[in-house]
Amino acid sequence: MSPRPLVVHVTGARPNFPKAAPVIEALREHEVEQLLVHTGQHYDDRMSQVFFTELGLPRPDVDLGIGSGTHATQTAAAMIGLEEVLTQRRPALVVVYGDVNSTVAATLVASKLHLPVAHVEAGLRSFDRSMPEEINRMVTDRISDVLLATCADAVDNLLAEGVDPAAVHLVGNPMIDTLLRHRTRLDQGRARSEAGLGDDDPYVLATLHRPGNVDDREHARSAVATLHRVAEHCPVVLPLHPRSRPRLIDVGLLEHPQVRAVDPLGYLDFLSLVEGSSVVVTDSGGVQEETTVLGVPCLTLRPNTERPVTISHGTNALTTHADLPDAVATRLRAGRPAPGSTPVPPLWDGRSGPRIARVLAGTLGVA
């Protein structure tokens, strides 16, 4: 009997884990072996290890522990570690997720070793090359062999770039599989209590970590001043990403009594706060998707988004620092939309993992 083909999954940062979990689970129904590699790009337990416990992911078979650093440092360290793993194991397929540095590192290494690559979340584009993630997305898609798209506009982007249509598969969003599977475990009451909020207190949940908002001191100062103005309407709860914490605190984040900074949260705790919030303010891609499905008004503090489907089929809107306080006030007055009243993108139905698994099994020629 021929040995079962080996599929290597590469994860590296918090956004990867909810995407990978449904794919790994669904592939167990097919005749493949699986190996999970964690590069350790996010190394804080609350940014990575807690996800393995909460989402039922297997513990990584390999943890490269590359840690923090510049984009070049992280990417280079991941490439060195991944080259050793992939050379030794020679998998039949490498599966990468999202747009972090580990994603492009794994794709480059696998391609140079002549190993096929499947990219989950292919085709997303902000059309803003000042974003490091946009470069990662473009490079990864250009040299991947199987492109698994979450939405129709991602498919359109890939076809416009000349990708072979046979390589592109519209499969939906596996991160939403994870959200829907665990939604009944969310505990708004406990999340409110731990953030120092009353049972009925309206609040804004904010996340900020993009370089355009926090790396430059003046940009960070502007973001903080904007959050202080938002806090005049209601409390602002802000889980602080390790890379943005010192910058935002240094420019006065905590000087407003209604701003409540908390440590990074696990998956369930964070989504509990999202679900209970009146408005979410973010510069994160994944949060735009989660609020779309949860029906929570979302204001994205960026000039563009690689997820425009969350605007056309969701609750998301782009905003600026200057416009944010008024936009929050408008949504607070309007209240949360009625459940089920906002559209959700097609195929964001909790069954993307099995669809992806079928595509991958077909690629490998196994049942």
Residues with a catalytic annotation lie at 209
Nearest to 228 by CA among 192, 257, 262, 197: 257
Q: 217 in helix, strand or coil?
A: helix
**Count of Cβ atoms closer than 10 Å to residue 161 Cβ:** 12
Q: Which helix (H) or strand (E) holds 327?
A: helix 324-334
Residues 212, 219 contacting (CB under 8 angstroms): yes
What b/e string do you get for 207-239 counting C-beta neighbours within 10 Å, with b at 16 or more? Answer: bbbbbbbbeeeebbbbbbebbbbbbebbbbbbb
E strands along the chain, which residues? 6-11, 33-38, 62-63, 93-97, 117-122, 146-149, 168-170, 204-207, 236-239, 259-262, 279-282, 298-300, 316-318
Question: How many Å apart are CA 124 and CA 152, to the nearest integer?
Answer: 10
Residues 97, 19 contacting (CB under 8 angstroms): yes
Residue 198 contacts by C-beta under 8 Å, 6 or more apart in sequence?
Answer: 192
